[in-house]
Amino acid sequence: MPNVVILGSTGSIGTQTLDVLRSLPDFQVLGLAAGTNIELLREQIAEFRPKFAAILRPEQAKALAQEFAIPVYSGPQALEELATHPLCDLVVVAVVGAAGLRPTLAALRAGKRVALANKEALVIGGHLVMEYREQIVPLDSEHSALWQLFTGRNPEDVAQIILTASGGPFRDYPGDLAKVTAAEALDHPNWKMGGKISIDSATLMNKGLEVIEAHWLFGFPYEQIEVVVHPQSLVHSLIRLKDGTLLAQLGTTDMRLPIQYALTYPRTAPSQVEPLDLVAAGSLSFEAVDHRRFPCLQLAYQAGRAGGAQPIALNAANEVAVRAFLEGRIRFTQIAEIVQEVVQQFPGRSFPALEEILAIDAEARAKAQECMGRRG
């Protein structure tokens, strides 16, 4: 019976992971970690009865420990404590942002299998994470699709990776994007996601981060990774073979499918998700990305090619700018402007160590705050 630790159990991916685990009796929830949502974490502990848990604030950890008589960790090392526990077999890394890098590396170095939903760990520290490639299974829908397409196939036979993007809520928006609200940007047409990733999908930065992620996971140069808009979100990724043949992975628009695949890999199991009905789905369409409307995608390509400090600065500045937009402090179109201004201040450096990555991340966040100050 595999023992699972979920980092980010109260977020979108975390709650859906627990939903999947309800239908997988062979798995045991060993540990749960949350940010500040104590009420939901309390409900999860009561239902799944983990051996231990973690939450950001010490006073909340103390209250939960007393209530459930289990160890509850808090503070900056809490996620690593859970991810490296001797009884843990599989770690689901579902925390958002650069905060996912340390516990991901800690789990991998401890020999754990990692179901990775935190794309930022690869964006800012891909050269460190991929030292443990045999222990990683991607959980993003696009990379899960590619993982399935590559299984049993010689990568040398593949000429191109193609990621699909829905285009988000603003694919054909007729108005001024500088005037859109956070509520409009959060209203994704196909997927139910957390706030940060929903905004990233609206700017297409999410797809840019996925391009960098695919580069590390599959070892393909950026020139062989393409993004196309697919509004229906039923084709999750494709590969083009050297003879021109296209192979695609299709599935219902439901994150529980790639989550379950990551949990049960290399086998598959019956799913609670309704299978895709091709007749009901109707026609599938594809179109080129409008890079003037979505400049963040090209910014990600440029940073990925430059390497070193630039992907780190890209991710850090984007996290700061997205939070500011959600809080109403900047306009939607200023997200890309701030990211571009910050990234230009960082050179491409070769393979920084973990502490240097964290220092660059902190410096880029400070510069992003300065950019917003000048615009305010």
User: Are 239 and 256 in the same domain?
Assistant: yes
Residue 329: inside a domain, yes or no? no
How far, CA to CA in Å, does 364 sit from each of 143, 223, 296, 338, 370? 27, 27, 17, 11, 10
Provide the 10 A C-beta neighbour count for residue 285. Answer: 9
- Whole-angstrom Cα distance, residue 64 to residue 59? 9
- Whole-angstrom Cα distance, residue 330 to residue 38? 30
0.85 exceeded by the pTM? yes
- Chosen domain end from 92, 109, 139: 139
Helix (H) or strand (E) holding 18: helix 12-21
User: Does 195 or 284 have the greater pLDDT score?
Assistant: 284
Residue 116: inside a domain, yes or no? yes
Q: Is residue 326 predicted with pLDDT exceeding 90?
A: yes
Confidence band, pLDDT 50/70/90 cuts, at residue 376:
low
User: Are 135 and 182 in the same domain?
Assistant: no
User: Are 114 and 261 in the same domain?
Assistant: no
Residue 211: inside a domain, yes or no? yes
Which residues span the domain enclosing 26? Answer: 3-139
Reported as a single tens digit per residue, the pLDDT across 336-360 is 999 999 999 998 777 889 999 999 9
User: Are 134 and 221 in the same domain?
Assistant: no
Residue 300: inside a domain, yes or no? yes
Structure-block tokens of residue 63 = 């209250």
User: Are 213 and 296 in the same domain?
Assistant: yes
User: Are 23 and 171 in the same domain?
Assistant: no
Average pLDDT, the chain: 95
CATH (domain of 17): 3.40.50.720
> What does the pLDDT read at residue 314?
97
User: Are 296 and 155 in the same domain?
Assistant: yes
User: Are 275 and 183 in the same domain?
Assistant: yes
Lowest mean pLDDT among 174-178, 185-189, 288-292: 185-189
Q: Are 368 and 313 in contact (CB under 8 A)?
A: no
Tracing tokens 């399935």 back to the chain, one arrives at 148
Structural domain count, the chain = 2
- Chosen domain end from 257, 291, 306: 306
User: Are 259 and 279 in the same domain?
Assistant: yes
Residue 94: inside a domain, yes or no? yes
Smallest CA-to-CA distance from 75 within 60, 62, 57 is with 57
Average pLDDT, stretch 229-237? Answer: 96
Reported as a single tens digit per residue, the pLDDT across 73-108 is 998 899 999 999 999 999 999 998 889 999 999 999
DSSP secondary structure letters along 182-202: HHHHH--SS----HHHHHHHH
Average pLDDT, stretch 28-50? Answer: 97
> What does the pLDDT read at residue 125?
96
Strand-pair partners of 361: none
User: Are 113 and 36 in the same domain?
Assistant: yes
Residue type (1 letter), 282: G
Confidence band, pLDDT 50/70/90 cuts, at residue 191:
low
